[in-house]
Chain A
Amino acid sequence: MKLFLETYNNSDSVNLADIPVLSYKYFANMLRSYFVDSDNHCLSYYAFRKDDKLKFICAIAKDSDGKIYLSSHELKAGITALDSLTPEFPQLHIFEREIAENFGITFEGHPWAKPVRYSENRADKIKVMNNYPFYEMMSDQLHEVGVGPIHAGVIEPGHFRFICNGEKVLHLEIHLGYQHRGIENLMLQNDNPIKLCVLSESTGGDTAVGNALAHSQLMESLADFEAPEDLQIERCIALELERIAIHIGDTAALCTDVGYQLGQVVCEALRTTIINTTQFWCGNRFGKGLVRPFGTNYPLNDRTVEEIKKILNDSGKRYFDMAERIYSLPSVLGRFDEIGIVTTEQAYRIGAVGMAARTCSIPRDIRSTHPFQYFKNHRPQVVIQEKGDVLARGMLRYLEAKESVKYIFELLSKWEYTEKSNLKPDYNYKLKPDRFSASIVEAWRGELCHFAVTDEKGNIMHYKISDPSMHNWFALALAVRDQEISDFPICNKSFDLSYCGYDL
């Protein structure tokens, strides 16, 4: 009996029926055998209603062979309790909680069974934002600090609950859901594909290119279309530009929090130059509208390439000078070094992905392990840091930006010799019926997954988005344990996780 179906990222879609359906017992054992090896990690584990059953799909990524393993099990109507796998594999905690919230399934033995985002279509409407069950310690001598949802800066809403003894944080609990807009349901509107493109970009406006790319890749996969090389190269350049811009912005934010004014203003100004380049290319500073399925409205031309090269040479060098200075200043290092440490062990156990994993010596980078678009032909260097503290996360951004600048130049030279396809986006595409596809993109935070299932007419029946922040929010909670509460803003900024991507 086949336990799983193998597929690759950014490749053909698979028949939904080909994904093996196991009983929960076999399904659980299969997951056990996979997750024991740290080479495997869970991309996503979710459920949706098909006919009168609840179908669970689990997608596992194996880093060494670049494959994605798919498996599923079905729950008949009437069964509402399953044994939880979280005690053995904490990385599944958020997914089991999501399934429990949306469909009312009880995972018995789950050590942290709490609501995820209070979605509008959740099963138990009695649970509301106001009665989130926070973890409490028995004592009348500790005090709790509750921050949010409305924070002091111009940022997204979320609630953080600290249990403190004096200035030391004993425990942090993060309660989100304020940004929930019901995107997954809205993605099921099959009347206008442009809506789906705009909605995916809105999932996370700071990751507009990443989300649009994941969506476009998904649609192309379900329609059996392979993008021509020049389109692939342009998409990779856009993704890397987004990465560089955000990393420079994050460096500015880190400097703001420690009061290093020069770093803040220089990096802010440099970020503006990068996103103005994106604006020059497509008319939007965040790249909205740049990536579309089956083609692009804004192909690269020589003028744009010249602009990109000029800005990267100039701003890139200035950023590297500034970052070198920042990470050699003792006063800044004193705030960053050994603060907010997440150990490698912890990162593995909670299934951290993307930047949060790479700063703890875990080499998880989809561009290298499960490459997509032009990364298949030309893989970038994966940057790893070891200490898992704020300094590592800051340094990672600097080094990744450096690597991305180098990579863009390599891509641009490749672009010059590639045949130009001049494809425009096609919104009249037809998707193949009864298919499943997975599209994973290494956005700047980490691996961003879009999954879709089509019905017998070729309409999208279910759409799932798994933002890297789903895995990584818990890393922040672990990082702040036993730290001073005044170091929390630094830890939060160093992770820079998405509230709206998590809340959908």
Chain B
Amino acid sequence: MKEIIFIIITFSALGIFTLPKRSQYYQMLVTQIFLIVVTGYLMYLSFNRIGPLQIYLFELIGNDVSLVIDSLSAFFIFVINITILTGALYSKGYLKPYLRDKTRLEMAWHYFNFLLLHISMLMVVMLREGISFLVFWELMSVAAFFLIIFESDKQENKDAGIKFLIQMHVAFYFIITAFIICSIATGQNIGFDSLEQYFKTYPSFPVFLLFFIGFGIKAGFIPLHTWLIHAHPAAPSHISGIMSGVIIKMGIYGIVRVLTYIHSDLMPIGVFILIISIISGIFGVAIAIVQHDYKKLLAYHSIENIGIIGIGIGIGVMGLAINNPVLASLGFAGGLLHVLNHALFKSLLFYTAGSIYQQTHTRNIENLGGLMKKMPATAVLFLLGAAAISGLPPFNGFISEFLIYTGLFKSLMVSDSILSVTLLAGIVALAVIGGLAVFCFTKIFSIIFLGTVRSDKTRHSHEVRSSMLFPKFIIGILIIAIGVMPFLMLRPMAFVAGVIVDDTSSLRDMAGTMSGISLSLSLLIVFIGILLLIKLKLSKVRHTDIGPTWGCAYTGSDPALHQYSATSYAEYIIMKARLLVGVKKHFRYLTKEKIFPSETYFKTESSDVFDDNLISRPVGGLLSFMEKIAVFQTGNIQHYLLYAIVFVIVITIISIFGII
């Protein structure tokens, strides 16, 4: 049975290369649906049993390689599948304009890598054995790399892809180092199973730190996030959505999986995760506010949300440390539910961003405006995603943050003072992050969709075709469903959290609160619906005139030019958080002496302080150092022979004198 499935998948994947351009997509889609069905079945099987589902695959260098699926893996399978499915459905419409210019091979390669990404991610969450895990982890990065540089005619995309690949390899080395340490120390095979033994006998923090760095680069914690901010804007939008939706969650999966084996040193680990997550959250959202490129903005938001997930996981670990099952289960449940929620609304946001890009060909929000009238469905879906990411009820972001808040508040009472301060910091941080997220999304939604056009770029925009809208609707329905009926998620999340936490009864106790929330939210929605109906009925009866916006009766220019700009809206944050967000203004203020101003310009630029100091400067320094050394590379054979002779002489002298 397994062999048949394996053969079907392999031939199906390779078969993409043989088909004409139009059919390649359907081949990929069918294969993916097949994968989803298979893994869905496995997921279903794993939920209704005690202990994980084990399926033996094959033998590798003397180790058994099996699929081990527990509730955590099953949960991630669900997240992966739903995001890849919607991404695939969306990509049909998004890639259509590219079909003309790309060759058959290029498109096939793209679809093939898409499929490969799907397969490798599924395998990553289902495998425990070390070598196969690492192989598929690498395959995932490589597949993602090829997907990112889809538009490789632009140099900046290739640079972003290379940065991604290099950082993924750095992450890989950290992970493999950690695995090797565990394996050698315990004498077992490389793999997650050796962790169990290792963490029982040795201090947990150092190796955990290695794992955290490795998986954290993938997840995008600060200061390990610098690949994210370049890769997301460079990739085509359906890939950006999937990247933010699931690829970075693989890092989270890794961290949580490692945590399932740790039973000592929990407090320092928990506090460490909490602090890094708080920094990621606040820093991520603050920089997002000053961005003008909406894809970069959404990328920074992913960092912020990883921070929120991290806060949930951090406090979960702290809960385990002090044996507080309420804190532990609510923290983990909240954090992991946020994984699903973020996958949903972030992919929705990236897909809508892709629709905007397809229509306007610009990523600079200062050039957009008034798209609400031209692309109403996209606008509403974007608004839905924006409200969800800001954690507003009745959407799903609210539910996961609510779980984390509940855990924090419930534990605040029963903790000692130092722990209380930490928990309070968590609450405050979460609140600040939520507030700043609303600030950021009001800015981006209003500048892009509301008002009127700011430049010619939006003149020819119209609503996108329904094949692109359909997957977004699916996501929207799920967002609202989780938001309005949160009690549906309680039992599944209890199972998932049960992998780490023994006593998840507090989650079941939340059922009452959740039902209360869902009741009030449903009433709210019904009330709004009634008001809308009344308004529609009344406006049909009254006479309506349409005229230009009142602009104080100025007849000279287009009132559209007198709209708020994104920089102006963000100016408040820029002023208060100048050091944090690293915004530089290029402007000569008009002095008191200058009565009549002459020509001047105004420009702001923001830079990422970590990107500058950790990556750009050292790399720049290294490159300039290399350029100095490059004088040796003269291209002249005689010189190289000279180097060889010199080397031999030096080695001889050294050996004679016994230095080595």
Contact = CB atoms under 8 A, between A and B. Distances in A.
Interface string A113-135: 00000000000000001111001
A135 B562 contact: no
B556 A142 contact: no
Interface string A87-125: 000100100000000000000000110000000000000
Given A112-B596, A165-B567, A148 B589 contact: no
Contacts of A474: 595
B571 interface: yes
Contacts of B364: 140
A141 B600 CA distance: 13
Given A111-B598, A170-B589, A345-B592, A141 B565 contact: yes
Contacts of B603: 139, 141
Given A138-B601, A139-B602, A140-B367, A482 B589 contact: yes
Contacts of A82: none
Nearest to B572: A166
Contact of B593 (A130, A150, A345): A345
Given A142-B602, A170-B589, A345-B593, A129 B567 contact: no
A117 to B, nearest CB: 15
B595 A146 contact: no
Interface string A320-353: 0000000000000000000000010110011000
B635 interface: no
A478 B592 CA distance: 8
A164 B555 contact: no
B560 to A, nearest CB: 11
B554 interface: yes
B647 interface: no
A445 interface: no
Interface residues of A, number: 41
Contact of A346 (B557, B595, B598, B599): B595
A349 B597 CA distance: 14
A151 interface: yes
A171 interface: yes
B604 interface: yes
Nearest to B565: A143
Nearest to A474: B595
B338 to A, nearest CB: 33
A159 B554 contact: yes
A25 B554 CA distance: 42
Given A139-B601, A142-B567, A143-B563, A166 B556 contact: no
A491 B27 CA distance: 69
A131 B595 contact: no
A167 interface: yes
Contacts of A289: none
B571 A165 contact: yes
A111 B554 contact: no
B368 to A, nearest CB: 11
Contacts of A345: 592-593
Nearest to A157: B553
Interface in B557-606: 557, 559, 561-572, 574-575, 587, 589-590, 592-593, 595-604
B656 interface: no
B591 to A, nearest CB: 9
B355 to A, nearest CB: 23
Contacts of B590: 170-171, 481-482
Given A149-B553, A482-B589, A138 B595 contact: no
B554 A165 contact: no
A350 B566 CA distance: 35
Contact of B567 (A131, A166, A171): A166
Contact of A350 (B561, B574, B595): B595
Nearest to B455: A140
B101 to A, nearest CB: 29
Nearest to A178: B553
Interface in A158-174: 159, 164-168, 170-171
A140 B565 contact: yes
A132 B565 CA distance: 23
A151 B455 CA distance: 28
Given A141-B604, A149-B554, A90 B565 contact: no
B482 to A, nearest CB: 37
Chain B CB within 10 Å, residue with most, of A148, A150, A166, A345: A166
Nearest to A167: B571
Chain B CB within 10 Å, residue with most, of A146, A150, A349, A482: A146
B551 interface: yes
Interface string A411-430: 00000000000000000000
A139 to B, nearest CB: 4
A137 interface: yes
A63 interface: no
Given A130-B556, A138-B601, A164 B568 contact: yes
A190 to B, nearest CB: 37
A140 B551 contact: no
B330 to A, nearest CB: 40
Contacts of B574: 166
Given A145-B562, A349-B595, A137 B552 contact: no
B595 to A, nearest CB: 5
A138 B599 contact: yes
B565 A346 contact: no
Given A159-B556, A166-B575, 19 more contacts: A93-B596, A129-B556, A130-B555, A138-B600, A139-B601, A140-B367, A141-B567, A141-B604, A143-B562, A144-B561, A145-B562, A146-B551, A166-B568, A166-B571, A166-B574, A167-B572, A171-B590, A345-B592, A478-B595
9 contacts: A93-B596, A112-B596, A141-B292, A141-B565, A165-B602, A166-B568, A170-B602, A343-B592, A349-B595
